[in-house]
Structures are given as structure tokens and as C-alpha cells.
Chains A and B, each alone.
Chain A
Amino acid sequence: MENVIECINLTHYYGKRLIYKDLNFAVPKGRILGLLGKNGTGKTTTINILSGYLKQYSGKCLIFNQPANAIEDHTRKRIGLLIEGHVQYQFMNIEQIEKFYSAFYPGQWRRDAYYSLMDKLKVAPHQKINKMSNGQRSQVALGLILAQNPELLVLDDFSLGLDPGYRRLFVEYLRDYAKSEGKTVFLTSHIIQDMEQLIDDCIIMDYGKILVQKPVKELLASIKKYRCHVPELQPIKENIPKLFHPEKHKILMEFYSFEPIEEVEQILHREQVQYSKIWAEDINLEDAFIGLTGKY
């Protein structure tokens, strides 16, 4: 399958601080990929490199087979960008901003798509964007992207500052649009519940590296949360291979693993962990994220 985004051995430092080293990932055409990670793991750094606003320390980052920091004008028309916080020209109103952007996308601009979304906002056409709520601003930003009708959408933390209603509206609108039109989407968000409804594939990042990159369905089918009873005074053993982030609450120990229950039991025996009654639970994407990256 053709890759719309391809990052090869991407490495970046801020000063002497390593953000990540030799990051490799690709976003195939027509897929919605979510980049998940705690604060400071390099999500916005990756978006900035992809958007051409940050020169990577080393490695390659290609969009439509062009280096991200030297994208040609006609290729940039094919990329829709949503900046963290739904940044837009706040001094404009919804009519002025549509008029401004439409001049740059002749032949592809869908005025109707923008105004059909704006009709739902219940704001006066002459109301300035800086007088709108975060939710309304997010809809303006989304409306402009829909009107641009790009092949690739790059969305940085689209859920920032949105209440649950607007988040749901944003997710549903975006998913319908992307799936019906075969668009490719690369996005980040702090709110992982939203991602589960939206994305096909996920990359889970920890400090300096990618922990997992696979389709969400495959991830959720393979990772389990395990619980078992342990002696109350038994100290918790950390760094057990293949068991992630074990935690103990009195006599209940819990951890996450990709291994089946039989394999998990063998590991516990090998590590001389005393336990009784062990069971596995299916988890959602947020739990999988916590399971892989830890709470802290």
C-alpha cells in the first residue's frame, strides 16, 4: 500500500536533550493513524517536523515522497493542517476567513462544506473568531480543512480545550469525512477515548522510542490486563519480562501483557512470584495506553 507519510530513522534533540532516536513509521494512504504519548514524548515535535516547522537532527521525513521541510506549493495544497489549540486568525469572522483561504485553493475549495458546518454553530456570520468558544473555534478550523478538501490531514491535539459534546462532534464529523472520501489522517490527542472511535492504527510512544505500532483492533485483541491474588506482604517485583507496569493494591496485583494467560503463569513461576487465582480482562485503548506507558 502506498505510504503518504514516511519517517525513516528520525532523530531529534532539543539542545542536548534527546527527544527520540531512530524513529521509524509510515502512514498508508486512506488510514487514520493516531500518535499517542504522554506529555513530552515528542508528539508535537513530530507534527512540527511533518509540517516543516522544525528541522530534524537526523533521519528523513517524507510526505507524498517529498522532504517535509521542502514541500512544493502544489503538494502543500494536498495537506490540511490543524495546529494545537485550533489556532486560526482570530481577528477575522467566519465569512472573512473563508474568503481569505478560498483564494489559495482555486478548483478544490468546497465552500458548501464549510458553510454547512458553520450553520450548526449558531453564530452570526460577522462574529469574530476571538469572541467564540473553544468548541466553536474548533468547528471553524475543521470547516476550513473540510473546505480545503486535502488528501492528508495532520491534526495536532484536536481535543485540546473541547468539552465532551464538541469532542464527539469533531470526531464523528472527521471520521465520516475521512472514511467516505478515503482521506489519510495523522493526528495526536490527549484524550484517548476519542481516539478509539476515530483511528484505524496507533503508535504509542514513550520517552525516546515507539512502544507499539499496529492497528487498534489488533492491539486491543492482543493486550490484556491481568489480575491475580498475591500475599499481602510480598513485595512487588518490577521489571518482569513481558509483563508491563505491575501494581499491587493489598492482595491484588495487576499488570498488562501481550502474552496469553498460560505464558503469563509460566513467567510468574519463573520469576518466583507467589500468586493464586489469575484472570485476564479485555481493555480499551486508554487502558492499553496506560498499561504500556505507565501512570507516571
Chain B
Amino acid sequence: MLYAIFYKEWIKTRWYYIIASAVLLGFVCYAALYLNRVGDLAGMKNLWDYFLIKNDSLISIVKYIPLIVGIGGAVSQFAPEMYRKCLKLTLHLPCNEYFLVGSMMLYGCGIMVAVSIVSLTILFLTLNGILPPEIISGILQASIPWFLAGVCGYLLTTWVVLQPVTKKRILQAILGAFVLRTFFLTDTMQAYTPSIWIFAATTVLTALLTIISLNDFKEGRQD
């Protein structure tokens, strides 16, 4: 049954996720090549100095891309279900409703996590050898909250899109925006390092919020 849900979600969203993932990976590759190019032009020593003095990861071009991909992923997955009333069909399937919607979210989160891991791996492999491990670690740690924001953005958008009551939907969107804002308060390298686990925990917990929207949908709440 999990396979069947993944099959349906893949047919529905495959073009979005293929294109969005390609765009995200394209930005990541561009950022990695940009660092290489700056190193070539300014000299690696100067690049190292820049990282140490300015504490800037120099890959902020990627910053909001995972978030945009995550929000778009949730919209492409769940907006058609709500707009065309297909969610009723899904919830009528002979499985637990939370399992059904959870499986759909697992599919989206799985793609977001996979693309994030590939992105971080590309960054690591491209920078490995030209920068010392401490600086690579700093760059990766600076970017992890952005990728977590992508997953969190996906989950919060799911929570918002599945909410059938417009007023609640607006309130949830505002709350979601505040939560996501915390992932982007600074670009300083390693500023977020002690908080990465808090961000990870926040991301996992936001998945539970969807239960609120699903219960409202099941009870037929509307404006």
C-alpha cells in the first residue's frame, strides 16, 4: 500500500520534483564552482582568509532554494488533492487516514532529504581538497539549516494547504512563516551549529501539525 501511495504521488509530482531538484542541484553546483573560481582568481590563501575573517560561507545563493523547492513540492502534491476533492478519495481507501496522509508526506520528505543529501555531498566533494576540513565543515554546517528549512517548509505548507478553514489557513501560514524565519536569521558560518539539532527537532515536530488540518478536514469544518 505504501508502494501504491508512492506510485500515485510520483505520477502526480514527478515533473515538478525532477525540475525542482535539477534547479536546486544546479544552484549547488554553481555555488561550488563559484568558490573554486574565486579561489583560482584570488588565490586559495586569500579565500581561506576571507572565510576566517568574514565568517561568510560564500554560498548564500543557495540559501532560499531548498525552501522554495519544499513549499512548491507541498503545493504540487496537496493543492490538487484539495482543489479537486481527491483527498476524499484518498481518505476513503481502506487504510488508516493518518497512515495514508503520512505516506504522502513521507514521499515528499524523502525526496527533499535525498536532494539535500546529494547537495551536501556535491558541496563536500567539490570543496574537498581545495579547502581545509574545518572550513568545509563550517560551510556545510552553515547550509544545513537551509536544507532543513526546505523540509520544514514542505511540512508547514502541507499543514496550511490541507487546512479547510480559510481563517485558520491564514493563521497557520503566518505562524509557519515565523517558524521558517528562524532558519535564516544569520549567514555567519557556524552561528547555527549549536542549534542544528533544535532545527532538526522542530522540522520533525512540524510533521505532527498536519494532524490538526486532517482532523478539521475529516470533521467537515469550513468557512
Contact = CB atoms under 8 A, between A and B. Distances in A.
Do chains A and B stick together as partners? Answer: yes
Interface of A: 14, 48-49, 51-55, 69, 73-74, 76-77, 79, 81, 83, 85, 87-92, 96, 99-100, 103-105
A79 B176 CA distance: 37
Given A53-B91, A91-B11, A91-B12, A103 B85 contact: no
Interface string B1-21: 101100110011000000000
A91 B81 CA distance: 11
Given A53-B217, A74-B94, A76-B93, A89 B88 contact: no
A55 B3 CA distance: 31
Contacts of A52: 91-92, 218
Contacts of B8: 89, 92, 100
B17 to A, nearest CB: 13
Contact of A81 (B84, B92, B220): B92
- Chain B interface main SS type: helix
A103 B3 contact: yes
A127 to B, nearest CB: 14
Given A73-B95, A100-B8, A55 B219 contact: yes
B18 to A, nearest CB: 15
B212 interface: no
Given A53-B220, A69-B219, A104-B1, 8 more contacts: A53-B218, A73-B94, A74-B94, A87-B88, A90-B80, A90-B84, A92-B11, A103-B4
A76 B90 CA distance: 12
B86 A87 contact: yes
Contact of A51 (B12, B92, B219): B92
The 10 closest A-B pairs by CB, nearest first: A54-B220, A103-B4, A55-B219, A76-B94, A77-B94, A73-B94, A91-B12, A87-B85, A81-B92, A104-B93
A49 B218 CA distance: 10
B96 A89 contact: no
B89 interface: yes
Contacts of A79: 92
Contact of B94 (A69, A83, A85, A104): A104
Contact of B80 (A74, A77, A91, A96): A91
B169 to A, nearest CB: 18
B84 A99 contact: no
Interface in B1-56: 1, 3-4, 7-8, 11-12
